[in-house]
Amino acid sequence: MEHARPSTTERFKERLKDIPFKPGVYLFKDSSGRVIYVGKAKELRKRLGSYFRDDSCHTPKTRVMLRQAADLDTLVTTTEKEALLLESSLIKKHRPRYNIVLRDDKQYILFKLDKRNDYPRLTLTRRVVRDGSIYFGPFTSTLAARDAWKAIHSVFPLRRCKQVAFKNRVRPCLYHHIGLCLAPCVNEVSKERYAHLVARVEMLLSGRSTELVRLLTVEMHKAAENMEFERAALLRDQIRAVEKTLEKQVAVLPDDEDIDVLGLAHAEKTQGEDTVYGLGLGLLFVRRGRLLDKKRFFWPGLSLDEGQEVLENFLAQYYGPERYIPEKILLPWDLATPIEAEPDAELPDTDDAEESVFLDILARVLADRRAGPVRIFGPHSAIGKKLVDLATENAREQSGQGERAPVMATLDGLAAKLHLPGPPLCIEAVDVSHTRGRDTRVGLVAFENGEPCKDKYRIYAFPELEGSGDDYAVLAAWAQRRRKAGPPWPDLLLVDGGRGQLAVVERGLMLDGEAPCPLAAIAKAREQAPGADSQKRRRKTHALDDTVYLPGRKNPANLKPGSAELLFLQRVRDTVHDFAIGRHRRSRDKTALEGELLRLPGVGVKTARLLWDLFPSLQAISNARLETLEKLPGFGKKSAATLHAKLQKLKG
């Protein structure tokens, strides 16, 4: 292997003559054509030339990467900003071996308050959408966020129903009758009183809890003086609930600021009986001056020498378009001049180091995504240094006993049992559902780092195969469609079925004579019940002995019944099974509903589909208000009145 290195290096040096001094992205590939590293550059030829002059200044990871590199591609961009965005996209797509890939990049829980509505609803979400809503958080613990959501609703009775139900409700729901909703859906509360309640919830979530307690205390005493004891008791309960949240938050800043704080440190992680050494990153979420939550990340085999690259890749990948971005980001080291940017700001001309240029570009990108100013700076003050020290200590506290350790151990075990090249951090699973060949749907679910990634769930319909009832033909058609979609490919594709389903999917995915990703199939264990009818004879058990098949192997995979690895695959299989059945039933119900509507005189296919898309059920359609129907596309007052009269017949 070593004797081929000089010729490869010389070949790369020759190619440098054809590479322009322009911004862009470069991709190193190994001998099989797989992308192993993606980088960006302000000047491509200058940056690539630095790889082949003197390797003594390279980090160990870079030296190993260059020994594996066999080919090089470049993509020229117009600006450095485009290069940064393209690099992040390519890293996410190819997951290169020698890049810092943010594996645990799931969106954390946020509170969302939709201020566009006269009666806002407080919900939990993982996505930030620039639609005028206000977001609070983030929370790394879903359970803690849901508990907080329930506690808020128990003392601040905001509405809970979705917009469609809210518009079409004709009488208050159960929550109103038990005192947990003010029933704005039927005008039981004025807009002013509801806005007053929303303002208090905003104060609580934005960290102004102390101010809120003072306000509530004054109102409680005033209510008691006026002998409004029920109202005073309600205010007392609200004060206690707010004080309970205050007890869980630690004040770390004297000012009401929103800051994310980053720290880097050497760290270690226990995996089974082994200890893995690497680089840890700690992230603190400070909201309104209080430490709200924290998160740790770990990359094995890296050291502080790669700290600059780790930080750059983390910032670019973590703060995506749907992530909550604070106004300030505190880095682990000092910057001579803080980087500040406004939305749509021009990038200043500079001859400084490429790292400084990167931060300028990143700040501008984040400002655009946030739709507000972003400041990236180092720890200048004593408080800033204390926060960085806290984040650094958080980065250092890595161990195999954390919440992700059992999951990662299971994924490592799957890699060994299924003969995978590495732990299946990204898994896709597929299943077919239909009723006697009708309303056929193929469901696909995705798991990342052992947890469902619902943003990547997909449903596929095959109208050309309707009525066939042939699962194999449906899976073959799906596999061809998935092959055309291309990368990113999962670390494992799991098929709900046996050897036959696995073989069909493998043939459909073939690229240049082989499947683009590892495959497996899991078959449910079933047992016979003598004397039962044909439908009951096949009953599902909690099958500890479900069978897992691999392509090209006669015998099933060696997964012990009840093992963590088999239980995990069963969980993935059950998830895709439930998802496919749910979407199939929705399609079946839609067909039935359209048929019911089409029986009404004067209601055609177009109108039936329009009503189905806007309302969740037949009952909701029949209860639709006249003013709601008047706002439908293509409807006027007369046509809406006619349709409303016809829909009333459905109630009878």
Instruction: Provide the CATH number for the domain around residue 603.
Output: 1.10.150.20
Please, which pLDDT band fits residue 526 given cuts at 50, 70 and 90? low
**What would the pLDDT profile of 316-339 be if each residue is shown by its tens digit?**
888 888 788 889 999 998 777 788
Q: Which of 266, 556, 489, 219 is nearest to 395 (CA)?
A: 266
Residue 398 shares a structural domain with residue 421: no
> What is residue 347's predicted lDDT score, i.e. its pLDDT?
52
Residue 450 shares a structural domain with residue 573: yes
CATH number of 412's domain: 3.30.420.340
> What is residue 531's predicted lDDT score, i.e. its pLDDT?
45
Residue 13 shares a structural domain with residue 114: no
CA atoms of 460 and 480, how far apart (whole Å): 12
For the question of whether the overall pTM of this predicted structure is more than 0.75, the answer is: no
Q: Which residue has the tokens 């195999």?
A: 400
In the predicted model, is pLDDT for residue 5 greater than 50? Answer: no
Give φ, ψ of 90 to 5 degrees.
-70, -35
Q: Which of 569, 633, 631, 649 is nearest to 168 (CA)?
A: 631
Residue 283 shares a structural domain with residue 243: no
Residue 241 shares a structural domain with residue 179: yes
Q: C-alpha 193: how far from its chain's center?
A: 36
Please, which pLDDT band fits residue 400 given cuts at 50, 70 and 90? very low
Give domain status of residue 592, yes or no. Answer: no
CA atoms of 267 and 389, how far apart (whole Å): 15
Give domain status of residue 139, yes or no. Answer: yes
Residue 245 shares a structural domain with residue 121: yes
Give domain status of residue 99, yes or no. Answer: no
Residue 350 shares a structural domain with residue 375: yes
Boundary of a domain, candidates 53, 69, 94: 94
CA atoms of 70 and 72, how far apart (whole Å): 7
Give domain status of residue 225, yes or no. Answer: yes
Number of domains in the chain: 5
In the predicted model, is pLDDT for residue 215 greater than 70? Answer: yes
Give domain status of residue 323, yes or no. Answer: yes
Question: Which residue range is the domain that position 382 belongs to?
Answer: 259-402
> What is residue 1's predicted lDDT score, i.e. its pLDDT?
35
Q: Which residue has the higher pLDDT, 188 or 531?
A: 188
Residue 63 shares a structural domain with residue 149: no
**What would the pLDDT profile of 44-100 be if each residue is shown by its tens digit?**
998 888 888 777 778 888 888 888 888 899 999 988 888 888 888 888 888 888 888
Instruction: Please return the burial class of 463, using the count of CB atoms within 10 Å of its CB with bins 0-12, 13-18 and 19+.
Output: exposed
* Mean pLDDT score, 345-360: 60
Residue 308: C-alpha distances to residues 264, 280, 312, 331, 354 (Å): 10, 13, 6, 11, 11
Give domain status of residue 483, yes or no. Answer: yes
Percent of the chain residues topping a pLDDT of 70 = 79
In the predicted model, is pLDDT for residue 252 greater than 90? Answer: no
Q: Which of 638, 646, 641 is nearest to 626 (CA)?
A: 641
**What would the pLDDT profile of 431-461 be if each residue is shown by its tens digit?**
988 766 677 888 999 998 888 888 889 888 8
- What six digits make up the tokens of 289? 């001056």
Please, which pLDDT band fits residue 345 given cuts at 50, 70 and 90? low
CATH number of 7's domain: 3.40.1440.10
Boundary of a domain, candidates 64, 94, 124: 94
Percent of the chain residues topping a pLDDT of 90 = 9
71-76 and 35-41: which strand pairing? unpaired
CA atoms of 430 and 493, how far apart (whole Å): 8
Residue 451 shares a structural domain with residue 545: yes
Residue 246 shares a structural domain with residue 294: no
Boundary of a domain, candidates 383, 402, 421: 402
Give domain status of residue 587, yes or no. Answer: no
For 266, half-sphere exposure in the C-beta direction (CA atoms, 13 angstrom radius) is 4
In the predicted model, is pLDDT for residue 348 greater than 90? Answer: no
The DSSP string of 172-203 is: --HHHHTTS---GGGT-S-HHHHHHHHHHHHH
Give domain status of residue 540, yes or no. Answer: yes
**What would the pLDDT profile of 607-626 be if each residue is shown by its tens digit?**
666 666 666 666 676 677 78
Residue 640's region, left for phi above 0, alpha for psi from -120 to 50, else beta, is alpha
Helix H or strand E encompassing 124: strand 122-125
Residue 121 shares a structural domain with residue 40: no
Helix H or strand E encompassing 476: helix 471-485
Please, which pLDDT band fits residue 520 given cuts at 50, 70 and 90? very high
> What is residue 243's predicted lDDT score, i.e. its pLDDT?
64
> What is residue 519's predicted lDDT score, i.e. its pLDDT?
93
Mean pLDDT is highest, among 4-18, 47-61, 132-146, 539-553, for 47-61
The DSSP string of 598-621 is: HTSTT--HHHHHHHHHH-SSHHHH
Please, which pLDDT band fits residue 542 given cuts at 50, 70 and 90? very low
> What is residue 242's predicted lDDT score, i.e. its pLDDT?
65
For 618, half-sphere exposure in the C-beta direction (CA atoms, 13 angstrom radius) is 17
In the predicted model, is pLDDT for residue 428 greater than 90? Answer: yes
CA atoms of 551 and 255, how far apart (whole Å): 60
Residue 534 shares a structural domain with residue 644: no
Mean pLDDT of the chain: 79
> What is residue 528's predicted lDDT score, i.e. its pLDDT?
40
Residue 522: C-alpha distances to residues 335, 472, 498, 547, 550 (Å): 54, 15, 6, 6, 9
